[in-house]
Structure 1
Amino acid sequence: MPQVQGDLISDACSKALYKDLCEKTLRADPSSSGATVDGLAKIALKAASSSAKTIQGQITTLLRTAKDKAVIAALNDCTENYDGANEQLGDSLKAMVAKHYSDVNTWVTAAMTDGDSCEDGFKSGTSPLTQANTNFGHLCSNVLAITNQLR
């Protein structure tokens, strides 16, 4: 039986741009065992949401020690970006429960844009959040890849 579930995870992630991350994310969640594609999409969405919350914590920590005005300004913008992303991912979860998949796509895409906007705020130098922002974008992309199979 677990083999079938493994196949469902592989199938669900087959259209993702970040297949390895997709499979790793889904397999790491115990509730993926026996989940439907809809359930896997929810797990992927929760992983993206968890990532956004983690990044908010990193931003708060970085703001405590930042001295450079441009970095502080960029981090403050990131705080707003990730506040928006978290709200959009919360709305996405409600939409997913209601099976309004086009709304999920709209809000997850908006959340991805917020992550990109955070990264773009560090034009003057190196972003301390590049890896986290990139990972967040990949997690959101995986949500879209799975959700698109539910339409």
Structure 2
Amino acid sequence: MARPSILLLVVALLALTVNSASTTTASNFIKTSCSSTTYPDLCIQSLSSYASSIQQNPRQLTQTALSVSLTRAQYAKSFVTKLTKFKGLSHKEYEAIDDCLEEMSDSVDRLSQSADELNKMGKSSKGQDFLWHMSNVETWVSAALTDDNTCLDGFSEKAMDGKIKASIRAQVLNVAKVTSNALALCNHFASNY
């Protein structure tokens, strides 16, 4: 009776070893890919938890980076929306927050379009068809990055310094950084396909 349990233990250990090696390989792929981004540490941190689904697939890496950026943009938009309801905002603060909300909405839309475009183009896209789809993706991600930066521009005046500016800046800057990384990964994917 002891033999089947030993055999089961050996099979379980072998499965763990194979899974661990696969995860290590995927993690190394993410680290190598992220080294070409502007914020490599953030890139690795934001994508490492998806290593098992990314494996060593450049398309999945790019799709995941877009998804992470979209999720963070949606969160930042929600955060900015809540700030519009704050009592005691100056007229300038309210206008800057309202403008930022519009920019973050645009950013969410563009990132969503990008993720959808990459997803729907499928694995069968080749040649000019692939380049056309990827050009759309890169254009929309770049526009989303511009939207993030434009949001922050509304808070550039010295009079806007304070907790509202600091909290929005922290949220939107994080979105801008992961979006910049996603754009770099999109560009790399497009150039190596």
Q: How far apart are the structure 2 equivalents of 1:65 and 1:107?
A: 31
Residue of structure 2 equivalent to 1:50: 71
Match of 1:90 among 99, 108, 112: 112
CA distance in 2 between partners of 1:103 and 1:109 (Å): 10
Q: Could you report, residue by residue, the CA deviation over 1:93-139 in whole angstroms, capped at 9, with x for unpaired residues?
A: 12212152221111011001111111101133132311111111110
* Alpha-carbon separation, structure 2, partners of 1:33 and 1:45: 13
Distance 1:143 1:64, change over 3 A: same
Contact kept in structure 2, 1:26 and 1:32, CA below 8 Å: no
Matched residues in 2 for 1:8 and 1:30: separation?
9
Greater gyration radius: 2
Letter of the 1:122 partner, please give it. Answer: F
Same amino acid, percent of matched pairs: 28
Aligned residues: 151
| TM-score for the superposition, normalised by structure 1 | 0.92
Q: After the TM superposition, which parts of structure 1 deviate over 4 Å for at least 4 consecutive aligned residues? A: none
* Higher RCO, 1 vs 2 (CA within 8 Å, ≥6 residues apart): 1
Structure 2: where are the runs of 5+ without partners?
1-21, 122-129
Contact kept? 1:85, 1:115, Cα under 8 Å:
yes
Q: Which segments of 5 or more consecutive residues in structure 1 lack a partner in the other structure? A: none
Please list the CA deviations of residues 38-74 of structure 1 after superposition, one character each: whole Å capped at 9, or x if unmatched: 1011111111111111111111221111421101001
Matched, 1:34 2:55: yes
Question: Aligned-pair distance for 1:30?
Answer: 5.8
Aligned residues of 2:25 and 2:56 also touching (Cα < 8 A):
no
Q: 1:134 — aligned with what?
A: 173
- Per the alignment, residue 137 of structure 2 pairs with 104
TM-score (norm 2): 0.73
